[in-house]
Amino acid sequence: MADEYIPLNFLEQIVEEDLANGMPREQLRFRFPPEPNGYLHIGHTKAIGISFGLGEKYNAPVNLRFDDTNPIKEEAEYVEAIKKDIKWLGYAWDKELYASDYFQQLYDWAIQLIKDGYAYVDSQSSEQIAEQKGTPTQAGTNSPYRNRSIEENLDLFTRMKNGEFEAGTHVLRAKIDMADPNMLMRDPIMYRVLYAHHHRTGDDWCIYPMYDWTHGESDYIEQISHSLCSLEFKPHRKLYNWFRDHVFEYGKSELPLPPKQREFARLNLSYTIMSKRKLLKLVDKEIVSGWDDPRMPTISGLRRRGYTPAALRKFVDTAGVAKRDNVIDVSLLEFCIREDLNKTTNRVMAVLNPVKLVIDNYPENEEEWLETENNPEDESAGTRSIPFSRELYIEREDFREEANRKFFRLTLNKEVRLKGAYIIKGESVVKDEEGNITEIHCTYDP
């Protein structure tokens, strides 16, 4: 029988088109770039699955890069938790990297942009900069510092790096176009002064690069072929390309591959909050016991709840890759874990609300061991022995003294089979003073 044909999703089509247009297969490289400011949640499984899935499909390396440019929110604990979750899901990264690895290179390129007239130091407050940004329908206003000389910009930026200014007094901005319809292109901030201890670089830096400046250039340094991110970053693509194209001119002799950004719809799950800010609030206020509380939608929480890697990966595959945001019903996630556990998990028996069952015609003080299958879906799981005797316990809701024809469990004067054992027939009941059934008497067919 021929293998089942599975159509390519639109990201795979992009990769196939690039290969068809001459990109060498060995240039394919992907990345998963989490910010270490919290634990991964169910929504991240899609981004993980897409990047690592493409890596598996094309036998291409996938980097794990931590976007650690905000020392105020980031902790080494989150780094280790993220690595643990990715490994648990069954994925293996090629290189473990950090945006902070590139702080010096990013700084050097920023200096070059200043020298080429593409960046300047702005000495306005954040409120003033925001006021000048304009609106989607109204052009922004140029900063009064936009035309500072290259020499003054270099001097100020160097002094920013050397710690001579207070936080909030100066920022480095890209000089693009304050009238661009895309507001992200209106002279975005590249660096801000921030005095905070970094979990890796310590106190070596007091200026930190912003996301849009760091993200694409990290992709370029690592020679990522396809930078895949969720739809909210689609408006950022124009800025991603602007930075990339300018930096490419500085590094193309050693870094010949300019990366491309493409976007996919993020995974939204019904009845589920996936904002890390809101999840952090639950942890900080001790509403939950921690990030791995079984009630949390984090990967570690789902793991404690009993979810398996296979179920989560199946869920991501079934949800698919789309270009438009939508909400996936949580029932699909529950279906995937049921399907996986049904095939892989050994069965056990438990009685939560017991009532005594007495088999009157079974010999007293006798016990036998019956064989029952561990998993009816998996013959290789073998069997186990369960004890059988005159007195047993069943679920109280599995018996009715009076029942209609649609009740197929135990009742008086009707026969049922005990799982893995004999057929029994309800004969009588014993009740306490309040009328509650304390014993069910029956007979069995040997």
**DSSP class per residue in 122-137:** E-S-HHHHHHTT-BTT
Task: Give the C-alpha separation, 53 to 312, whole Å.
Answer: 13
Kindly report the average pLDDT of the chain as a whole number. 96
Region for 195 from its dihedrals, namely left if φ exceeds 0, alpha if ψ lies in -120 to 50, beta otherwise: beta
**Domain-terminating residue out of 241, 264, 287:** 264
Mean pLDDT of 399-411: 92
pLDDT at 405: 86
Confidence bin at 5 (pLDDT 50/70/90): low
Tell me, yes or no, whether 339 and 358 share the same domain: no
Residue 372 maps to which CATH number? 2.40.240.10
- Asked if pLDDT for residue 423 goes beyond 60, the answer is yes
Report yes or no: 326 and 320 within 8 Å, Cβ to Cβ: no
Report yes or no: 172 and 190 within 8 Å, Cβ to Cβ: yes
Tell me, yes or no, whether 384 and 304 share the same domain: no
pLDDT at 3: 60
Tell me, yes or no, whether 190 and 112 share the same domain: yes
pTM, two decimals, is: 0.88
| 81-115 per-position pLDDT tens digit | 999 999 999 999 999 999 999 999 999 999 999 99
Tell me, yes or no, whether 222 and 317 share the same domain: no
Confidence bin at 418 (pLDDT 50/70/90): very high
Tell me, yes or no, whether 108 and 164 share the same domain: yes
- Asked if pLDDT for residue 142 goes beyond 90, the answer is yes
- Asked if pLDDT for residue 6 goes beyond 70, the answer is yes
Count of domains for the chain: 3
Has residue 398 been placed in a domain? yes
pLDDT at 441: 98
- The fraction of the chain above a pLDDT of 90, given in percent, is 95
Mean pLDDT of 188-203: 97
Confidence bin at 1 (pLDDT 50/70/90): very low
Domain that holds residue 113: 10-264
**Domain-terminating residue out of 240, 264, 288:** 264
Tell me, yes or no, whether 389 and 281 share the same domain: no
Report yes or no: 308 and 251 within 8 Å, Cβ to Cβ: no
**Domain-terminating residue out of 344, 362, 391:** 344
Report yes or no: 170 and 124 within 8 Å, Cβ to Cβ: no
Mean pLDDT of 134-156: 98
Letter for the amino acid at 155? Answer: D
Smallest Cα–Cα separation from 239: which of 209, 262, 213? 213
Q: How far is CA 55 from each of CA 50, 89, 231, rounded to the nearest angstrom?
A: 9, 15, 21
Has residue 81 been placed in a domain? yes
Tell me, yes or no, whether 148 and 170 share the same domain: yes
Query: Angle, to 10 degrees, between the axis of helix 44-58 and the axis of helix 76-89?
Result: 60
Smallest Cα–Cα separation from 227: which of 338, 408, 218? 218
| 11-28 per-position pLDDT tens digit | 999 999 999 999 999 999
Report yes or no: 121 and 172 within 8 Å, Cβ to Cβ: yes
Q: How far is CA 374 from each of CA 184, 239, 295, 310, 343, rounded to the nearest angstrom?
A: 59, 58, 29, 20, 11
Catalytic residue numbers?
35, 266, 276
